[in-house]
Amino acid sequence: MAKVEDFSNKSSQRVNRYFSESFKRKKVREIEKNVSTVLEVSREYEVSTTAVYKWLDKYSHNRKRGVKQVVELMSDTRKIQ
């Protein structure tokens, strides 16, 4: 059976981090320009994808205007042409 001491001696505790609004806006612009993806941002800065989507909802100009971003593979676009 697990003891209370087993859980209290762990050195890795969750650290709250805060990102500035300008940083969030910069990452949202990168995602909108297809420079990086939501998954890449979340992995690089160890943030949940849910948090990145919240940044998109809050800071994206396209979402406020009702514009949808369509992502296609380059090969699909070339096939259509």
* Tens digits of residue pLDDT in 22-54: 999 999 999 888 888 899 999 999 999 999 999
Average pLDDT, the chain: 78
Tokens standing for residue 69 = 């971003």
Percent above pLDDT 70 for the chain: 59
Give the position of tokens 């994808």. 49
What's the full length of the chain, in residues? Answer: 81
Q: Can you give the pLDDT at residue 51?
A: 94
Residues 64, 58 contacting (CB under 8 angstroms): no
Residue of 4 and 52 predicted with greater confidence: 52
pTM for the model stands at 0.62
Percent above pLDDT 90 for the chain: 37
